[in-house]
Every structure is written in structure tokens, then in C-alpha cells.
Amino acid sequence: MSETPTAPRRGMLLVVAGPSGVGKGTLIRELLERHPEIEWSVSCTTRDHRPGETPGEDYHFISDDEFMRMAEQGELLEWALVHGIDRYGTPRAPVDEALAEGRDVVLEIDYQGARSVRAAMPEAVMVFVAPPDAEALRERLAARRTEDDCAVARRMRSARIEFGSMGMFEYVLVNDQLSVACDELEAVYLAERLRTRRCGWRELQRRLLAGMGDEGR
């Protein structure tokens, strides 16, 4: 007998942070491939659109004025000025709606955004992705070919600040061998789904007890 749960399960907000170039996007793409039920929160940004990026899928590319309007009107769950020039933010409404309807959402943000989300939504699951060493991070930034040397140096300076924030996360994952890191991110997601506050145990308990009739009384 299947029954509709009385209160829908609340979704999980999975926050993935870490320095630029560490592999957050790559890990999240693989997690979404394995779990298409997870929703990707599309951020807004004022930075230029890189080749290969699809507006509305990778980011919503918006002007500084529009960005500031959204921030002032409380339409962003978090926002940050990254590398002193580009603004990135998370539209609040789609996240609130998905979580209320029991859908899980993954968010890729920097440490400043992670701090704001933790304050706004303390139940969010916070994961920091670290490189195995500084050299690997430098190589990945250079290999991405979207940055010139000056941008790589700027991102390495920001990475120093990101590393300083590691202690505020619940999970730290080292992205050395990609397949291992993907398995670890999935393990965090799967374990967090089973937490009593998320797994709808009351409904399960009610069904189990109802199915027992007078047995064991």
C-alpha cells in the first residue's frame, strides 16, 4: 500500500565552495550526472560570458545595475564581489521554492557566499573543495585557458583567503584524483539525505506501525 506523505520532505541545500580552478564545476557536473534529481542553482553574474557558456544555464549574465537592484530588494540569497571586480549572486526564489517542494539544490559559491548562506540557512550542507597542493591549483587554472597570467595570479591571491575559510565547513574534500573526489562528494550527498531531519522518518514510522496492527502489543 503506498500513501502520500502528509508533510513533504524538505529538500537539501548542498553548498560547494573552494578556490577558483579547484574543480568545483567539474565535480558538480558529475554529481548531477549521477543524480539528475538534484537541481543546479543558476547564479547571476556581472562578469563576461566565457566561450562555451550558455546564458541561463551556466549563469544569468546581468548588468551591474540589475545586480544591485536585485541585491537591494532582497532577491539574492547571497552575493559577493569576487577578485574585486566581478559580482556573483544566488537568486533566492528558485532555491526557496525547490527546498519547500522537497527537491535538493546544489550551489557553487565562494567562501563569502558560503558564510552568508550558512547564516541565512543553517541547515545547508557545506563542502569545501581543496586542491592537493598549490601547484596543482596553479596548473588547473592555467589549463582552463580562460584566464591570462594576470588573472591566474589574482585567483591564486583569492585562493589564499579561501584556504583561510576552510574551518567553517562541515566537510573538506581534496580533489586530487577526480574519480575519488566525485565518489566522496556523492557519499556526502547520500549520507546527508539519510539524516533524520531530511528522510521523512515520521511517515515511515507511521506506516510501519500501522502495518503491524495489534502485533507485539
User: Site residues (CB under 6 A) for ligand ADP?
Assistant: 20-26, 140, 143-144, 175, 178, 181
For the bound state, the minimum distance from the C-beta of residue 37 to ligand ADP, rounded and expressed in Å, comes to: 22
For the chain, give the number of residues: 217
Residue 167 is classified by DSSP as: G
Q: Closer to ligand ADP at the Cβ: 85 or 143?
A: 143
CA-CA-CA-CA torsion sign (66, 16, 37, 199):
negative
Shortest gap between Cβ of 24 and ligand ADP (angstroms)? 3
- Within a 10 A sphere around the Cβ of 206, how many other Cβ atoms? 13
Cell of 37: 534529481
Minimum CB distance to ligand ADP smaller for 20 or for 46: 20
Closest CB to ligand ADP among residues 143, 194 = 143
Q: What is the distance in angstroms between the CA of the first residue and the CA of the last residue of the chain?
A: 22
CB of 95 to ligand ADP, least distance (A): 19
Cβ of residue 87: shortest distance to ligand ADP, in angstroms? Answer: 17
Q: Which of 80, 181 has the CB closer to ligand ADP?
A: 181
Between CA 113 and CA 77 the distance in angstroms is 9
